[in-house]
Amino acid sequence: MDLLIDNVSHTYGSVEVLRDISLEIPQGQIVCLIGPSGCGKSTLLRFLGGLEVPSRGAVLQVGTPAGDSLNPLTYVFQHFALLPWRTVEGNIRLVLEDHRLGNAEMDQIVTDVLARTRLSDFRTALPKQLSGGMKQRVAIARALAVRPAVMLMDEPLSALDSQTRELLMDDLVSLWTRQPFTAVYVTHNLAEAVRLGHRIVVLSRRPGRIREIVEIDVPLDQRALANPELEARQKQLWELMREEAAAADQELLDV
pLDDT per residue as tens digits for the range 176-202: 998 899 999 999 999 999 999 999 999
Specify whether 124 is located in the same domain as 159: no
* Average pLDDT of the residues of the chain: 90
Segment 228-252 mean pLDDT: 79
| Of 102-111, 164-173, 224-233, 244-253, minimum mean pLDDT range | 244-253
Q: What is the pLDDT of residue 208?
A: 94
Shortest CA distance to 106 belongs to which of 119, 93, 123?
93
Does residue 60 contact residue 3 with C-beta atoms inside 8 Å?
yes
Biggest CA–CA distance in the chain, Å, is 57
Q: Are residues 186 and 168 in the same domain?
A: yes
Which own/partner pairs from 243-252 qualify as long-range (CB within 8 Å, at least 24 positions apart)?
A: 244/35, 244/36, 244/204, 244/205, 244/211, 245/36, 245/37, 245/205, 247/36, 247/205, 248/36, 248/37, 248/38, 248/39, 248/205, 248/206, 249/36, 249/37, 251/38, 251/205, 251/206, 252/37, 252/38
Domain span at residue 119 reads 84-148
Question: In the prediction, which pLDDT does 248 show?
Answer: 66
Structural domain ending residue among the three candidates 124, 148, 172: 148
pTM score: 0.90
pLDDT of residue 253: 44
**Does any domain span residue 78?**
no
Percent of the chain with pLDDT over 90: 64
Q: Spell out the residues 6+ positions from residue 244 whose beta carbon is closer than 8 angstroms to its own.
A: 35, 36, 204, 205, 211
Nearest partner of 34 among 156, 186, 157, 154, judged by Cα: 186
